[in-house]
Structure 1
Amino acid sequence: MFTTKSFIKKNKIGNFLKNVREHYIRDDIVCGFSSCYSCQNIQNNQNIGCSKDNFSSNHVNRCKLVEGNHYLILDTNVVLNQMDVLEDNLFGNVIILHTVLNEVKHRSLPIFKRLMSIIDNPSRHFYVFTNDHHKDTFIHQEDQELINDYNDRCIRKACTWYHRHLPKEKFVFLTEDNESKRIALEENIMTFSMSEYVHNLSDKHLVEDKLAKVSSSFPFTGKDIYQAHMSLVELLEGIRGGKLYQGTFKASRENFLEGYINVDGFDDPIIVQGREGLNRAVDGDIVAVALFEKEHWTSPTEIILEDEGVVEENIDELVEKEKEIKKAIKKKGDIKPTGKVVGVIRRKWRQYCGILEGGIEGVYQLFVPSNRSIPKIRIETRQAEFLKTQKLIVTIDSWPQNSRYPHGHFVRALGVIGHQDTENEVVLLEHDVPHSQFSEEVLRCLPKLPWVITEEDESRRVDLRHITICSVDPPGCTDIDDALHCRIIDDNKLEVGVHIADVSHFIRPGTAIDLEAASRATTVYLVNKRIDMVPELLSSNLCSLRGGEERFAFSCIWEMDYEANILSTKFHKSIIKSKSAMTYEEAQLIIDDKTKNDDIAFGLRGLNKLAKILKTRRLEKGALVLASPEVKIHMDSETMEPLEVEVKKLFETNSMVEEFMLLANISVAEKILQDFPDCAMLRRHPTPPSTNFDPLVKAGKHLGFDIQIDSGKKLAVSLDQAVSDSNPYLNTMLRILATRCMLQAVYFPSGTLQKSDFFHYGLAVPLYTHFTSPIRRYADIIVHRLLAVSCGADSTYPDLLDKHKSSDLCQNLNYRNRMAQYAGRASVAFNTHLFFKGKIQDEEGYVLFVKKNALQILLPKYGLECTLYLSKKGDESLFVYDEEEQTQKAGNVVFHAFDQVTVRVSLDSKNIQHEKFVLQLVYPYIEGFSVKPLIESEGADKSNMEQQTMDYQDKCNEQVSTMKKNKRKTQSNNEKRKQKKKV
């Protein structure tokens, strides 16, 4: 059956058009109750949820408001706002109307997916009733009726029908809309608000804390702290009229009263400061910003401010902090666009990990998120004493004008604070890393053991098992992606091969394991844990190129002369048997040991010589050598506590492997772009905007070096020339600073950009892709499939050649890769904190940045960047900040960027959530500020300290003298360049 409704509309030229809408209704849709005889008589009952166990007599909803067992019918807002409550097993025998399901899907896809996971779980007894196609529950939308009002009417119609259809059962309608509740009660529908219902549950303590505060339920009625937001209509009109700008809000991690809004069309982000500027924006929100007149523009503050407030009504501390911002010296040459948030277009609130603030009593608690960019959140809980021992998940519900902090609710506890497993869980959740166990469906895609190579497999592959191939990887590596070989062809030629694990042989397109790998996108490495992209049977066994075992590979083979010039290239699928799986250090020892002259030693030495030539050639073309402090943490095998933290050691063999992986990626990129000009998956590194280099250029200028940024080649040359005999670590710090100026490298399908945009800035190559790590990167699997089609080793499939689907895939790959990097760093940071717990050490460091109230100190030994605060209450006059020269002066001691210092390092664990390193200055010694060295603390005298300071000052004077010479040299070179241009 179907029903029709006609609409008469007038078009633009004045004619009237009749639009007929058909809607099919059915008489064979069942109610879901196995005890219903009328529905049992329906023959065609293969519909949604029509099995006999849709509802369970074993599950009983117990609420003081309703006598006996009953069934729940939910409205849309209950599902959207109270999903954390609904996910609790306390709720069962719930009817989800199809009207509600569609509206939830339209308004929030993440909530829809969570709801579907409950519906798909038979133990939860959630039943979908297709009310909008049932002959007795379908109703027409009235003329001029708003869609929300129509949906509410459909829900009430279905409630009434269930009451009449099964008069012996009790049905309770839960809503969060007061008007809908009023009308439902008038229609004799048993109706309660969600909060009313939960607060009267027999086991309310299990879910009471999870109730979302959809309206301000906290007892604070003080004056407004923030300005009112404009309505969405006003915001959109203002943006269309050019009076407002739309952008993404990013909160500062160093100053809780400062943020930035990235707006399309602006070279620089818009700065927002203080309560007026931030106006309740949360990191990630899409906001509307009003730009100030240019005379009111300011600069980013150079002070570090932390939120220390804990009392809702007390905003005195906020006012004081805002005064500190206003006092911050404005750089005349560094004024940036400045404005204020006037409204939020779309919230990006999510679930946050963290802990409760200590020292607060009562049911109203402050939650401190792990992410410093997120403000504290006020929640209501009756189990605070227990929750203060736990890492929690909390979500934001609202942020009223009269509340200093947003309001939210508790979701669940993750585990005891400080426990390794708990902290790993926090890292993974905070960085949105999929880490659940692989499903049975995925595991069914794996090959059966014992796995053997068949004759058919051998016939399709090139047999390279006789060649001396070996792998070189970090210690403890079990997911070995790549192996290498080098052998003589004749007096003038060498054969060099890169052999990559053939993961695509085991992961076929469209299978469950393929979809799971595409979703995860990458393997995530934590300090003591690895989250695999593919199941361990593949990652550490069948795909891993382990020594002495036959494996499938995808090989890239070059013929080269002894000057590393490529004479020919070929690609094919192969069978290899690695002769040895070595660490970088083991391979280096073989190369250096002149007594070793076997095939492995010869191959490694040949590869190493060629790699040096390739690297030199690459650097001459302008490839950048950047730096970032990477550390290795040694763990106790029993307690899993960190024993030692050290910077990773690099060998020539690290560079050797890197060069051939780069060369293989470039060769493969050329091949797949040639054969698939519209859908090749490539990787680009965009050229950073010149403003990104401002910190680097300024740092170089203060040190007397002219950092040229016109091209990657000029930048590379400038960095090579920026060396100092008095400070050997200076060049490394400049390279660390250069790394932070870069944009993120990203994947993209070739058909979506112009060829000029394919360029990889960091590597200085026109074309690049990822081919060499398919065990840990999904992008490489796609590239393997493209290359296999090019070689005739496999067939194509539609999604592989669809650039739009490839573009969507690339977005996920880029996001997952970025999150994996952040998760790895967070894991290292946690374990470094664990290592320092209870320790006090004096360490060598370097001044990385000079701030108005602090020095940013880099500790190379641990890869740490920490803050040494210079001003304390009562001694602000001790240090004098020179904005032009970017220095801090105390007496005879002057601090410049990149100066060497000695600091005492300890860990402040008062705030368990945000443990922080506390630095005290040891060297140079400043009377009344510095501390004595630990080894001299007993017998150090004042004269010794003064001598150290004098020595330091002499060293600084020598460095300043060198800087002045460099500046004069730079000025002279600039003059010469100008003269050449004139000529």
Structure 2
Amino acid sequence: MKPKPFGRIVAIIRRNWRSFCGVIREPKILTSTSSNFIFVPVDKRIPFIRIETRQYQQICGIKILVRIDCWPRDSRYPRGHYSRVIGESGDKETETNVLLLEHLIPHMEFSAQVLNCLPVEGDKWQPRIDDLSNRSDFRQECVVSVDPPGCTDIDDALHCKDLGNNQLEVGIHIADVTHFIRPGSAIDREAAERGTTVYLADRRIDMVPGLLSSNLCSLISGRERLSFSCVWKINSKTGEIYQTKFSKSIIQSRASLTYAEAQTRIDDPEDQGEIAQSLRRLNSLAKILRAKRIEKGALVLASANEIRFVEVESETAENELVILEKQALETNSMIEEFMLLANISVAEKIYEIFPELAVLRRHPKPAQSNFEELIVAARNRGFDINVSDGKSLSASLNSIHDPSNEHLNLLFRMITTRCMSQALYFCSGSLGSDPNLTFFHYGLASEIYTHFTSPIRRYADVLVHRLLSHAIDFEQQPPEFLCKRKITDICDHINMRNMNARRASRSSNELHSYLYVRNSREKCCHEKGHVFTIKNNALVIFIMHLSFEVVYMFGDGDQSMNDWQVDKDNGFVIHKPSNVRIRQFDPVQVELTVKPSALTSNFKKQIIVRLIDSKIF
């Protein structure tokens, strides 16, 4: 067994105190004069906090916000004060506010100072003549956008026309957010502070005000919109790029399609309209580009299926949550390929012009030790996994197949995703001479990469737009912006915000899965799952329908820990009374019920799991 890293705290430079969400613990003895109480934070890394209040009856059993004041040397717990009520524990709005606060997600209304930066014309704004100076005009091209249903922040649109001789002109048109967000303005500072739009299970927390995100910057069909375009001349048979051109532009999208609507147009042989033919050319070319990427070693990974929870009116007291699952269509992959290609092309351009200042995104190769769980899991199912490089890993994953378990390959790709290191934004001049720090993006098998295609929802893309605008001599940037230290600091901040946003999104999905089970019309919820991980005392079961992990504890209910024989090394457990063996990734039927607790916002722990496989019980 490898020794664990060891360290010793030698000094506390500064207390990282903030406000914490939680509940008051019910005292063993409560009198009319009681005023000292123990506050239990929802974050279990935080110690209990002793607070003094005369309002116990008003705040018992509900989520409140408490701030630490001091931590006396002779006290087991820090002392703090109650600042405000959040709401009833278990309520959707309350728990959503809790997860936003706990993950440090800025979610307040935009200030008047920020809103004053918006065009005074509001939603009546139209591009002026001087806005079009030096811009390419693509208003006559067959430009369309393809997005998830209900999308209002449309960042990107595409066009494709046949030039003859196996040549295509492909244009990627990205919302020109920097036209409205000037460097150093109040709205720029706010967008930089937020760093990213945060997508929760039932809503989004915008990085920029809605007038921009859902209107003036959104590439809505039928509206003239300012954009930043990347246009290639490409061989339609080989995917070879003959020419790349960047320009600020103006477009007027012909259609705002969903992935399903675009797929229908591609598949309908009777639809020979301009939009359908353009989409077919794009789809055919995307398949060629994808094959080339995978041949280079790009990985096709997976995470939990993307689902949305929609609240619908119910005759009962509480509205019903309905799950909308994301469909995997060719058009999803089609859009992804051209966004990746645009990001790579832009990365090459800004690094060429700004070798010390380019905002890039790297994905380090994972350490060999990261793959140990994957290798063992594959071996136990009779597969070999070669992790020497991305290409070998990709080939190994492609070989995993079991006719009796249609989800096996997906489950292995999910485990592989968890083996990956974290992709990070960085300033190209900040890596120094360390040979272990490279620009390489392991997952995409690309020597250089950035983010250009989503400036409405990512501040990194705003920085990249400004660099590219400067690089093509469209608009010079202020000298204080072209500073390696400043860009590095912003990248570090964005990385932190992205991490918090991912955690908040995951917590929101867990909350809504819990509410879905709790509000089930039946007393319990029956679901099909797969054994994802085997622990010494539990099975971690992934529920496909909910994209959610639950934990079955050995010994729960009528069972005893002694009823189970665990063999983690070989990836199975045996239920001794029935002599049934359950392997990692095996499908299982489970019954889910809830046991609400105000003391925690860990909703996995509030879901009670019972195996209902008839072979065992």
TM-score between the two structures when normalised by the length of structure 1: 0.58
Give the equivalent residue in structure 2 for 1:870. Answer: 554
Kindly indicate whether the alpha-carbon contact (under 8 Å) linking 1:502 and 1:553 is maintained by their aligned counterparts in 2.
yes
The 3 A distance-change label for structure 1 pair 664 and 340 is closer
Matches within 5 A, 1:158-307: none
Q: Which has the higher helix share?
A: 1
Question: 1:152-188 deviations in whole A, cap 9, x for unaligned?
Answer: xxxxxxxxxxxxxxxxxxxxxxxxxxxxxxxxxxxxx
Give the equivalent residue in structure 2 for 1:813. Answer: 494
Kindly indicate whether the alpha-carbon contact (under 8 Å) linking 2:89 and 2:598 is maintained by their aligned counterparts in 1.
no
In the TM superposition, residue 815 of structure 1 has moved relative to its aligned partner by: 0.7
Residue 352, structure 1, aligned to residue 352, structure 2: no
Kindly indicate whether the alpha-carbon contact (under 8 Å) linking 1:630 and 1:648 is maintained by their aligned counterparts in 2.
yes
Residue 822, structure 1, aligned to residue 509, structure 2: no
Q: 1:801, 1:487 → 2: CA distance?
A: 37
In the TM superposition, residue 778 of structure 1 has moved relative to its aligned partner by: 0.9
Q: 1:360, 1:399 → 2: CA distance?
A: 24
Give the equivalent residue in structure 2 for 1:615. Answer: 290
In the TM superposition, residue 376 of structure 1 has moved relative to its aligned partner by: 4.1
Q: 2:612, 2:17 → 1: CA distance?
A: 44
Counterpart secondary structure, 2:480: helix
2:446 corresponds, among 765, 769, 784, to 765
Give the equivalent residue in structure 2 for 1:385. Answer: 57
Give the equivalent residue in structure 1 for 2:4. Answer: 337
The 3 A distance-change label for structure 1 pair 698 and 799 is farther
2:279 corresponds, among 597, 600, 604, to 604
Q: 1:642, 1:817 → 2: CA distance?
A: 31
In the TM superposition, residue 372 of structure 1 has moved relative to its aligned partner by: 4.0
One-letter identity of the residue aligned with 1:440: A
Kindly indicate whether the alpha-carbon contact (under 8 Å) linking 1:634 and 1:642 is maintained by their aligned counterparts in 2.
no
Matches within 5 A, 1:98-113: none
Larger Rg belongs to: 1
One-letter identity of the residue aligned with 2:331: T
Question: 1:109-157 deviations in whole A, cap 9, x for unaligned?
Answer: xxxxxxxxxxxxxxxxxxxxxxxxxxxxxxxxxxxxxxxxxxxxxxxxx
1:468 corresponds, among 139, 142, 148, to 142
Residue 904, structure 1, aligned to residue 591, structure 2: yes
The 3 A distance-change label for structure 1 pair 419 and 726 is closer
TM-score between the two structures when normalised by the length of structure 2: 0.91
Matches within 5 A, 1:691-840: 691-753=369-431, 757-839=438-520, 840=524
The 3 A distance-change label for structure 1 pair 785 and 881 is same
Matches within 5 A, 1:512-527: 512-527=186-201
Question: 1:34-73 deviations in whole A, cap 9, x for unaligned?
Answer: xxxxxxxxxxxxxxxxxxxxxxxxxxxxxxxxxxxxxxxx
Q: 1:578, 1:743 → 2: CA distance?
A: 38
Structure 2: gaps (5+ residues):
none
Q: 1:379, 1:722 → 2: CA distance?
A: 56
Counterpart secondary structure, 1:605: helix
The 3 A distance-change label for structure 1 pair 339 and 468 is closer
The 3 A distance-change label for structure 1 pair 566 and 339 is closer
Counterpart secondary structure, 1:382: coil
The 3 A distance-change label for structure 1 pair 627 and 570 is same
The 3 A distance-change label for structure 1 pair 408 and 459 is closer
Kindly indicate whether the alpha-carbon contact (under 8 Å) linking 2:230 and 2:246 is maintained by their aligned counterparts in 1.
yes
Kindly indicate whether the alpha-carbon contact (under 8 Å) linking 1:559 and 1:567 is maintained by their aligned counterparts in 2.
yes
Q: 2:191, 2:562 → 1: CA distance?
A: 58
Kindly indicate whether the alpha-carbon contact (under 8 Å) linking 1:845 and 1:901 is maintained by their aligned counterparts in 2.
yes
Counterpart secondary structure, 1:727: coil
One-letter identity of the residue aligned with 1:812: H
Residue 568, structure 1, aligned to residue 205, structure 2: no
Structure 1: gaps (5+ residues):
1-333, 931-983
The 3 A distance-change label for structure 1 pair 340 and 480 is closer
In the TM superposition, residue 355 of structure 1 has moved relative to its aligned partner by: 2.1
Q: 1:758, 1:593 → 2: CA distance?
A: 42
In the TM superposition, residue 718 of structure 1 has moved relative to its aligned partner by: 1.5
Give the equivalent residue in structure 1 for 2:228. Answer: 554
Counterpart secondary structure, 2:93: helix
Name which structure has the greater RCO, CA cutoff 8 Å, separation 6+.
Answer: 2
Question: 1:435-462 deviations in whole A, cap 9, x for unaligned?
Answer: 2222222112111213222222223211
The 3 A distance-change label for structure 1 pair 900 and 495 is same
Give the equivalent residue in structure 2 for 1:504. Answer: 178
Q: 2:504, 2:348 → 1: CA distance?
A: 33
The 3 A distance-change label for structure 1 pair 748 and 698 is same
1:436 corresponds, among 97, 108, 118, to 108
Matches within 5 A, 1:823-862: 823-839=504-520, 840-862=524-546
One-letter identity of the residue aligned with 2:471: S
One-letter identity of the residue aligned with 1:767: I
Give the equivalent residue in structure 2 for 1:423. Answer: 95
Q: 2:213, 2:7 → 1: CA distance?
A: 50
One-letter identity of the residue aligned with 1:877: N
Q: 1:857, 1:762 → 2: CA distance?
A: 26
Give the equivalent residue in structure 1 for 2:268. Answer: 593
Kindly indicate whether the alpha-carbon contact (under 8 Å) linking 1:632 and 1:645 is maintained by their aligned counterparts in 2.
yes
Range 788-797 or range 405-414, more displaced? 405-414
In the TM superposition, residue 358 of structure 1 has moved relative to its aligned partner by: 4.7
Q: 1:340, 1:468 → 2: CA distance?
A: 61
Counterpart secondary structure, 1:649: coil
Q: 1:462, 1:689 → 2: CA distance?
A: 46
Kindly indicate whether the alpha-carbon contact (under 8 Å) linking 2:534 and 2:568 is maintained by their aligned counterparts in 1.
no
Kindly indicate whether the alpha-carbon contact (under 8 Å) linking 1:469 and 1:485 is maintained by their aligned counterparts in 2.
yes
Counterpart secondary structure, 1:849: strand
Kindly indicate whether the alpha-carbon contact (under 8 Å) linking 1:901 and 1:924 is maintained by their aligned counterparts in 2.
no
The 3 A distance-change label for structure 1 pair 681 and 623 is same
Q: 1:870, 1:352 → 2: CA distance?
A: 33
Q: 2:6, 2:127 → 1: CA distance?
A: 66
Q: 2:575, 2:226 → 1: CA distance?
A: 65
* CA-based RMSD: 2.3
Q: 1:841, 1:337 → 2: CA distance?
A: 41
Give the equivalent residue in structure 2 for 1:248. Answer: none
Q: 1:337, 1:773 → 2: CA distance?
A: 40
Q: 2:208, 2:12 → 1: CA distance?
A: 38
Kindly indicate whether the alpha-carbon contact (under 8 Å) linking 1:646 and 1:862 is maintained by their aligned counterparts in 2.
no
Give the equivalent residue in structure 1 for 2:215. Answer: 541
Q: 2:5, 2:218 → 1: CA distance?
A: 53
Kindly indicate whether the alpha-carbon contact (under 8 Å) linking 1:635 and 1:641 is maintained by their aligned counterparts in 2.
no
In the TM superposition, residue 784 of structure 1 has moved relative to its aligned partner by: 0.8
Percent of pairs identical after alignment?
Answer: 47
Give the equivalent residue in structure 1 for 2:343. Answer: 665
Question: 1:622-645 deviations in whole A, cap 9, x for unaligned?
Answer: 111111113423423558945222
Kindly indicate whether the alpha-carbon contact (under 8 Å) linking 1:629 and 1:647 is maintained by their aligned counterparts in 2.
no
One-letter identity of the residue aligned with 1:596: D
Counterpart secondary structure, 1:426: helix
Give the equivalent residue in structure 1 for 2:85. Answer: 413
